[in-house]
Chains A and B, each alone.
Chain A
Amino acid sequence: MTAPPAKLTPQPPIPKIGGWDNFQRKYAPYIFISPFFLLFFAFGLFPIIFNGYLSVHEWQPGSGLGDMKFVGLRNFTDNLTDPTFWLSLKNTTILAVESGLPQHLIAIPLAFAINMGLKKAQSLITAIYFLPYITSVVAISVIFFTLFSWQYGVLNAALNSLHHIPILGVLFPADKINWLGERAFVQPSIAMVIVWRYVGWNMLLYLSGLQAIPGDLYEAASVDGATRAQQFRFITLPLLRPTMFLAVTLSLIGGFQLFEEPYILTNGGGGVGQAGLTTIMYMFRTYNAYSDAGLAAAMAWLLFIVIGLLTLVNNRLFGRSGMSDSKAAK
């Protein structure tokens, strides 16, 4: 800071009251935050209201706005009596569980392993595990599409050579698995890609949670004669609970909105027996291919209700450790 230039007048430089100066001082913050709120009303809130309006109308996007026909709740009943809608919801649920559970079951031990005293290499390790998360989903899906190849894929070749290891070999399949070509394997294949993509993300959440636990708690516990298992049971688990709640909530909300991975891995079609068709994919198809905006809008509401209910159940299960507790994570 340089010294302020000498003033010719002896008065202290109090800003002039009145006119533009006063106006801009008073309203500046409102003007500064207005872009967000304007955009939110235009592209956040309005679409939600419009979605509600659409869901009780019948309308082909190709025709003009005048062709909207009020049909009450028919879009909702049509969805609820459509077997494909239920199939998509079932697929989504299975995929959310198949991809959600392993993510955490793998991420937690990894976070523990880093916390075991590999602090020096921590940033390198987290960077490696985080790489899939910042890679485009199209790139990932295309790569895995080749790795999953039935006759020539790397994955089957690797499993096959593992199968030939003595003793341990029985753990691995003898025959080639037709990953994306057989109904039973479509969902596990998609889930595998999602697990691979999000393990690093969850690992980082758990690592932050672990490292936020004060070290002197463990010291005090070992002074009192607590065994390692007891320390884990009475210190680590309870204090990691808010982190778990956060990570599970994020997986849940993300899992029920799955679109990109299944869409690309099944070439947009849903795969064998539509096993890879998620609800968002079906909604997209209803709008895009079947041109039924009202039906698609109603589907969005139904999925929203499902996600809302599951979030509530999750809240109950995990007790009242809400989002605010996650502040402890840093």
Chain B
Amino acid sequence: MTSTPLAAPRTTPRSISGKRPLSRAGSILLLVLGGLLTLAPFYFMFVFATHPRQEIFSLPPPVWFGHDLTNNYESLLSRMPFWRNLWNSLYLAVLTTATTLFFCTLGGYAFAMYEFKGKGWLFGLLLATLLIPSTLNIVPYALIMQALGWIDTPRALWIPSMANAFGIFLMRQYIGSAIPRELVEAARIDGATEFTTFRKVIVPLTGPAMATLGLVTFVQSWNGFLGPLIIFRSAETYTAPLALRTLQGIANTDWGALMCGVALTVVPLLIIFAFASRRLIDGLTSGALKG
């Protein structure tokens, strides 16, 4: 555990290639080509969102924007309560993020700043839970939620995930490396209770790590599909991805409307990514790289 998971790798070895113009040009060509292939589907998503169905499926396919964005949008809203679905996604993502930040910061603080009996093996157990392939638990999870009567309620998704191993691990790394113990000691000597210390000393200082964990949690919740597929059963409770999936599933799909909905779901993410891509990428990869 050396650097914080939030810092970009700083070791910059000299390039192996030296400065041979040919290999450099080759690398640039390779990266540009790959980049175009990576971005192309996003481009077509926006293009298709502005064409009616019969134009999307015509020869040659449209490669530039059309004039039917408003028609597609109206068609989308006539087929499903899409703003309601987007709201469901947002509600779930915000609630998941807020509760995750609170419980993971609390847990990370305990593992970073305290010495207590059993700390070692408890933390080992916490890390071991990361190795369980979660998909294998689909059936019992669905049954438990049915038994609890939590089907069709968002809490079926945010409660189980609010104190997760990855988040606690991330916060422990940051608190352990970025916050001096003396601050905690000082607060104690001033007679603060442990929770007050957490609230007044730790929380204000963990901003960067919270931003990272918050972004990762939000994005994962916003994109979630399998969990909502198990839990939500009606057009009113669907999250946006589920609603889009059902629209695709019916015969005679209005592809223009569907693309418009897809674009509406992706745009918020693009905005978040434009402002915080570095932080988001660091957060997502830190788990793998420090694991």
Which residues does A use to contact B, with CB under 8 Å?
Answer: 4, 13, 15, 21, 24-25, 28-30, 32-33, 35-37, 39-40, 42-44, 46-48, 50-51, 54, 61, 106, 109-110, 112-119, 123, 125-140, 142-147, 149, 151-154, 157, 196, 199-201, 204-205, 208, 210-215, 217-219, 228, 231-232, 236, 246, 250, 253, 257, 259-260, 264, 267-268, 280, 283-284, 287, 293, 296-297, 300-301, 303-304, 307, 323, 326-327, 329-330
Contact = CB atoms under 8 A, between A and B. Distances in A.
B278 A123 contact: yes
A126 to B, nearest CB: 6
Contact of B285 (A128, A204, A257, A296): A204
B193 interface: yes
B73 interface: no
Interface stretch (B75-83, B206-214, B242-250): B242-250
Nearest to A25: B194
Contact of B56 (A131, A135, A146): A146
Contacts of A250: 288
Majority secondary structure, B binding face:
helix
A292 to B, nearest CB: 10
Given A215-B12, A267-B248, A300 B136 contact: yes
B79 to A, nearest CB: 14
Contact of B16 (A39, A214, A228, A297): A228
Contacts of A140: 41
Nearest to A130: B281
Given A4-B190, A149-B57, A61 B3 contact: no
Interface of B: 1-3, 5, 9, 11-17, 19, 23-24, 26-28, 30-31, 34-35, 37-39, 41-42, 44-45, 48, 56-61, 63, 103, 106-107, 109-111, 114, 116, 119, 122, 126, 129, 132-133, 135-144, 146, 159-160, 162-165, 168, 188-191, 193-195, 198, 219, 222-223, 225-226, 241-242, 244-245, 248-249, 255, 258-259, 262, 265-266, 269-270, 273, 277-278, 280-281, 284-286, 288-291
B160 to A, nearest CB: 4
Contacts of A212: 9, 11
A196 B41 CA distance: 10
Contacts of B280: 134
Contact of A154 (B34, B61, B165, B270): B61
A218 B17 CA distance: 11
DSSP class of A's interface residues: helix, strand, loop or mixed?
Answer: helix
Nearest to A209: B289
A266 B266 CA distance: 22
A217 B122 CA distance: 39
17 contacts: A32-B106, A33-B106, A36-B163, A110-B31, A118-B27, A125-B35, A128-B35, A131-B39, A134-B284, A138-B223, A138-B262, A138-B265, A152-B61, A154-B63, A200-B38, A210-B13, A212-B11
Given A135-B266, A139-B265, A43 B141 contact: yes
Given A47-B144, A157-B59, 20 more contacts: A29-B119, A32-B198, A36-B164, A113-B27, A117-B27, A127-B278, A128-B35, A138-B225, A138-B245, A142-B258, A142-B262, A143-B45, A208-B9, A211-B11, A212-B11, A215-B11, A264-B245, A264-B248, A297-B139, A297-B140
